[in-house]
Amino acid sequence: MEETTFPLIGDKAPSFTATTTHGPINFPEDYAGKWVIFFSHPADFTPVCTTEFVAFQKRKAEFSKLNAELLGLSIDQVFSHIKWVEWIKENLDVDIEFPIIADHGQVGKLYGMIHPHKSSSTVRAVFVIDPESIIRAIIYYPPEMGRNMDEILRILEGFQIADKHNVAIPANWPNNELIKDRVIIPPASDVKTAAERKKKYECYDWWLCHKERPK
């Protein structure tokens, strides 16, 4: 069996050119300066995938507010993608406004999106890629489990706050069980800073301090 490999968190997003429902793209160069939610789905005209595409589209404005573009992919011809998009519009009254890559397997293999036991289809993979084209998060789902779009939005917003303000994001943020929507201060790395932490921030201890969510 051919080994499945994929880029890792912190790697530069692999480059490729591809045909999409919006025309040819040169990735990631065409998306420079943008966050990208790059995701694959097993196939067009399948029930779970259809619900996912509607869910992504319903939140497209929220992704746009976070300077993020959506980019889908499956191993289907562009004609199939176009017909599926038409079907979604005609039957569900939803316009899919983001591009879908028509892959022949090359891009899927490059990103480790090919199902190891089904070489003709892609898994439900999500790559969160930052404006510097660095992969920041990778999420995989099995065929029977649809994605949670609100979690992807949460990850995206959390990264942007963490990057801008040098903080960390707690579990279940912004509804964390301990500190609600507050953010975590990075742990002190020397004795002096540790001693000052409780005076400067609200803390459970010097290594677990938090502050209000930055505006």
Catalytic residue among 13, 49, 85, 149: 49
Q: Which of 9, 17, 4, 46 has its CA nearest to residue 126?
A: 9
Bridge partners for 73 per DSSP: 40, 101
209 flagged as catalytic: no
Contacts of residue 55, Cβ cutoff 8 Å, sequence gap at least 6: 146, 147, 149
Q: Strand, coil or helix: what is 85?
A: helix
C-alpha–C-alpha distance, residues 70 and 36, integer Å: 6
- For strands 135-141 and 124-129, give the pairing: antiparallel
Say what the alpha-carbon torsion angle 17, 67, 100, 144 is, to the nearest 10 degrees.
120
Question: Which residues form the catalytic set?
Answer: 49
